[in-house]
Structure 1
Amino acid sequence: MITLIAAAGENNELGKDNDLLWHLPDDFKRFKAITSGHYIIMGRKTFESFPKPLPNRTHIIITRNGDYKVPEGCYVVNSMESAIAACPDDETIYVIGGGEIYRQSIDIADCIELTRVHHSFDADAFFPEIDPGKWKLSASECHGKDEKHAYDFTFETYTKL
């Protein structure tokens, strides 16, 4: 099973200058809970946005640079097909970004775990449009802004029709 997991603003904004646009601790906790113990697929720029590899996850990094060096426990591939092939067949694989990697994988994904941040942002990376003819919103959990969260947000789960 292939699951896209992302946080996106009202206009599908993901980030700017290879950085997030918000700080939502509950979203980070959810991301960690969902992806821990699994294979995560990402583009090189997403990988480089982390200070170090995320613990308790196997990183598959897609890049055209065949000489790209990564730490132990991380693997480099040159395509989405190679990334999927590097993961076990019987396990859920999580695609964690960025925008181009989401675009390459949305048509082959089975599920989308999206945190919809209820605000508009200036961004240079975007999540692809979720086509209601292909996806059904199967779960939704709203969270209001508070002292730790500057924006309202909703955890949304989409399943392929």
Structure 2
Amino acid sequence: MITMIAAAGENNELGKDNDLLWHLPDDFKRFKELTTGHYIIMGRKTFETFPKPLPNRTHLVITRNNKYEKEGAVVVHSVEEAIAIAKADDDQPFIIGGGEIYEMALTYAEKIELTRVHGTFGADTFFPEFSRENWKLIESVAHPKDEKHKYSFTYETWVRK
């Protein structure tokens, strides 16, 4: 099952200038719990925001640059190639961004783990719109604003109908 995982604002904002718009420790913890032991598929810009590869995950990095190489990354040149490699060894690979990769991968996704951050933000990268005609919300868990979280948010799990 191909799963897209993201945190997005009320207007699908993901980030600005290759950075996140918020700091949500509990969401980072959930991301780690869900993706550990799996393939994670991302674009080059997303990969380069990490100080080092995330532990206990196989990083598939999509780039148009045929000469791109980075330690800790399996470099591929299309979403289709990334999915084929991931599905050969993992029944639950995750698409982790960025915006362009989410847009290209939406047609292949069977599940979306979306953290909806309750606020609107100035952004230059967005999560793609998806139709509620094609997707069903199967779980929604609210998380209030608190001393560690400047914004309230809701974990939403969507599955393709």
What TM-score range do you get, normalising by the shorter chain? Answer: over 0.9
Post-superposition shift, 1:119? 0.3
Q: Deviations over 1:37-75 (max 9, x none)?
A: 000000000001111100100000000111111114x20
After the TM superposition, list the runs of 4 or more consecutive aligned residues in structure 1 that deviate by more than 3 angstroms: none
Which residue is 1:141 aligned to?
Answer: 141
Q: For the residues of structure 1 that align with 2:55 and 2:141, how far apart are their CA atoms?
A: 26
Uncovered stretches (5+) of structure 2, i.e. residues with no partner: none
Matches within 5 A, 1:79-158: 79-89=78-88, 91-158=91-158
Uncovered stretches (5+) of structure 1, i.e. residues with no partner: none
Matched residue type, 1:83: A
Matches within 5 A, 1:13-32: 13-32=13-32
Matched residue type, 2:141: E
Q: For the residues of structure 1 that align with 2:15 and 2:3, how far apart are their CA atoms?
A: 20
Secondary structure of the equivalent of 2:113?
strand
Matched residue type, 1:55: P
Q: For the residues of structure 1 that align with 2:129 and 2:136, how far apart are their CA atoms?
A: 13
| TM-score where L is the length of structure 1 | 0.97
Post-superposition shift, 1:92? 0.6
Secondary structure of the equivalent of 1:53?
coil
Post-superposition shift, 1:86? 1.3
Post-superposition shift, 1:88? 3.4
Q: For the residues of structure 2 that align with 1:45 and 1:133, how far apart are their CA atoms?
A: 31
Aligned residues: 160
Which residue is 1:11 aligned to?
Answer: 11
Worse overlay, 86-95 or 6-15: 86-95
Which residue is 2:77 aligned to?
Answer: 78
Which residue is 1:66 aligned to?
Answer: 66
Matched residue type, 1:11: N
Q: Deviations over 1:56-113 (max 9, x none)?
A: 00000000111111114x2000000111111133511100000000000111100000
| Amino-acid identity (%) | 65
